[in-house]
Chains A and B, each alone.
Chain A
Amino acid sequence: GAVVSQHPSWVICKSGTSVKIECRSLDFQATTMFWYRQFPKQSLMLMATSNEGSKATYEQGVEKDKFLINHASLTLSTLTVTSAHPEDSSFYICSASETSEDLYNEQFFGPGTRLTVL
């Protein structure tokens, strides 16, 4: 089946530093990748949608200069949290799909990255 990996699985960093999270589709080509954030006991909130080779589309309220997304290849997307602050501590999850407009296609989720900013 379709497998999506994320790296790292957890990271602790100091306030003001930047953190990069990688999302890879291991056995399929991901035309579209999605980045979500989940705070404790809350549901997943979509942050942005990225299509290979083009700029990411950010959801309302998500700062594109703070959360940099790069989708340079069909198997890799990266999310960089710049100048991280304690309020950015969260569970970041990516998902990938082969095409965003196939009614029967599903998103395959990565295992998530737990970010803690001290």
Chain B
Amino acid sequence: GQNIDQPTEMTATEGAIVQINCTYQTSGFNGLFWYQQHAGEAPTFLSYNVLDGLEEKGRFSSFLSRSIGYSYLLLKELQMKDSASYLCAVRDGDYKLSFGAGTTVTVRA
């Protein structure tokens, strides 16, 4: 089966930076996604990496290293509304998405 690991919880201060790490072991690889999910709602797409390197989109950046099965999501200039669960998901060789358990980020004033 697929194995995707990310920390359970992280806390940071408003305006700060937080980095959420994700390591994975999957059967085949066709891209890594990061989603944001607020409680009781569906995930919303944040970023997509299929090649090694950094993808930047506004306050959010995502990095991928396929050789070591590693990604991180970087959230800059944290705002209170960024408090949510962040899901790392890998698309495997069958083009199915496998999700990590999610990292709950709490932003404090």
Contact = CB atoms under 8 A, between A and B. Distances in A.
Interface of A: 34, 42-46, 49, 91, 93, 100-101, 103-104, 106-112, 114
Contacts, number: 44
A43 B42 contact: no
A114 B40 contact: yes
Interface of B: 30-31, 33, 35, 40-45, 48, 50, 87, 95-102
Question: Top 7 closest A-B pairs, CB basis?
Answer: A109-B42, A43-B99, A43-B101, A44-B99, A112-B42, A100-B95, A111-B42
A interface majority secondary structure? loop
Nearest to B8: A41
A112 B41 contact: yes
Contact of A110 (B42, B95, B96, B99): B42
B interface majority secondary structure? loop
Contacts of B99: 43-45
A8 B95 CA distance: 28
A43 B87 contact: yes
A103 B43 contact: no
B45 A101 contact: no
B31 A46 contact: no
11 contacts: A42-B101, A43-B100, A100-B95, A106-B33, A106-B48, A107-B97, A109-B35, A109-B44, A111-B41, A112-B41, A112-B42
Contact of A46 (B50, B87, B98): B98
